[in-house]
Amino acid sequence: MSAVSLTPNLMVENVHRAAAFWCGLLGFTFRMGVDSARGFHQALDPGADLVYAQFVSGSCEVMVQRRDSLGGELPLLAGRPTGGAFTLYLQVDDLEALHARLKDAVTTVKGPETAFYGMREWYVTDPDGTVVCLAQPAGA
């Protein structure tokens, strides 16, 4: 077996709120969404009752799915908290500019600081508590 891709599907309380974080703040593009009637959306429609969406930036992709939808598909997840016990590590091309632009709009967990292995890292949370590390090689 050879892996082709690995894409997180994050359980969220509100798909539009997740889109505001991933697209509005981090600059991802809305690829597609699905509403509660299983209709497909190629653009982010503020009036749509979205239960699922995909966001992309470069070769990176994130999927989000509303708790009731994901819990309906996988009952094991229905009662679990959003945010999870993991981090997403997102390498960016200008961490300092991103920090200057977003520092008052997100919750900082740690940093920005340079790790011993040479990466400049800033840990933030999305609206559902998922920890996202925004990183860039130090000195880049």
Residues 3 and 67 in one domain: yes
Q: Provide the whole-model pTM.
A: 0.90
Whether residue 92 sits in one domain with residue 75: no
Kindly report, residue by residue over 101-111, the tens digit of the pLDDT. Answer: 999 999 999 99
Q: Could you say which of 62, 81, 100 is where a domain stops?
A: 81
48 with 18, same domain?
Answer: yes
How many folded domains does the chain comprise?
2
Give the HSE-up count for residue 129: Cα atoms under 13 Å, Cβ half-sphere. 10
**Which amino acid would we find at residue 18?**
A
Query: Starting from the edge strand earliest in sequence, which strands make up the sheet with 119-125, in order?
Result: 87-91, 131-137, 119-125, 107-114
33-63 residue pLDDT tens: 999 999 999 999 999 999 999 999 999 999 9
Regarding whether 73 and 13 lie in a shared domain, the answer is: yes
At 85-126, the pLDDT tens digits run 899 999 999 999 999 999 999 999 999 999 999 999 999 999
Bridge partner list, 61: 56
Parent domain of 17: 1-81
pLDDT level of residue 32 (50, 70, 90 thresholds): very high
CATH of the domain at 69: 3.10.180.10
> In this structure, are 10 and 66 located in the same domain?
yes
AA identity, residue 38: R
**Residue 120 · residue 114 · CB < 8 Å:** yes
Structure token pair of residue 126: 């999305």
50 and 62 assigned to the same domain: yes
pLDDT band at 70; cut points 50, 70, 90:
very high
- Which residues share a beta bridge with 40? 34
